Amino acid sequence: MGFTARANRQGIRAGSIVVAAAAAVAGTVWGVATLVGPGHGTAAQPPHENVSRQTGTPEEGAKGGDAQGAAGAPQSRIPDGIAHASESGGNAVNITIDDGPDPQWTPKVLDVLKKYDVKATFCMIGPQAKAHPDLVKRVVAAGHRLCDHTMDHDTAMAKKPVAYQEQQILDAKKMIEDAAGGGARVEYYRAPGGAFTPDSRRIAAANGMRPLGWNVDTKDFGKPGVAAIVKAVKSEIGNGPTVLFHDGGGNRSQTVEALDQVLDWLKDQGRPTGFPVRTAPDGS
């Protein structure tokens, strides 16, 4: 075989290698683009900072990411839109409890919930959960659900870098789940002061947590009096089903008494309680 023929055949082989390599690279790039493209991006919604009442629908942000299992297989689709509706539908009410767990007040709140056979969603601060794993376990054992309320309750986190938001959310999630043990999962994420951002919602949804808003701010954190807390629920429940209470951050004696009265009133009204929606509207 002459020099020219050998050179031509070597050139063909080299060209084939280049084409194959280019195809492999293209496949890799396409895979990455799929992960960050439609279905995994953020919804066009501005941040909410320190708002007392968040509005929206469970369909909002239905393009949320799929939660991934250990083998990378998609689990139930968790939208990144802020949830407000109840899984129980109809006139059901969602009771949510923020800022704990607290060794003095969380047990009292749990006792009131047990009295009325009501299940609630507890939005916990990471270090608080780590400091009181017995209370986290008690919450789970009673059939309540867990919610991530970040590491430091930084109401200004919406103005901070994405890496900071991710650290606040994911470190708290790990602390809460470690404290709960037994494979318990954190199923929701609530931004401090309602300071959601498209990025924080995306991070939460990608890690199996539905962003959780509220419709009724009882303002119990400011200790306005038991009557004022109860009145807030009765006058604002028409805004939507998710009610905000607190079991941490200070003396919550007013909250405990008001919660008792609110649950008694809901019982008289024939209104059941439930958990906030988590998955996509189609149930997938």
Measured at the CA of 259, the angle between CA 220 and CA 261, to 5 degrees, comes to 120
State if pTM tops 0.85. Answer: no
Ramachandran sector of residue 17 (left: φ over 0; alpha: ψ -120 to 50; beta: rest): alpha
Report the pLDDT value the prediction gives residue 281, as an integer from 0 to 100.
60
Query: Over the chain, what is the mean pLDDT?
Result: 80
pLDDT the model gives residue 76: 57
Q: Residue 203: pLDDT above 60?
A: yes
Task: Report the distance separating Cα 220 and Cα 227, nearest Å.
Answer: 10
| pLDDT, tens digit, 9 for 90 and up, residues 234-257 | 999 999 999 999 999 999 999 999
Amino acid at 138: R
pLDDT band at 77 (very low <50, low <70, confident <90, very high): confident
Render 221-255 in DSSP notation, one character per residue. GG---HHHHHHHHHHHGGG-SEEEEESSSS--HHH
Place of tokens 């494979």: 183
In the block, tokens 């906030």 appear at 276
Q: How confident is the model at residue 49 (pLDDT cuts 50, 70, 90)?
A: very low
Active site members: 98, 246
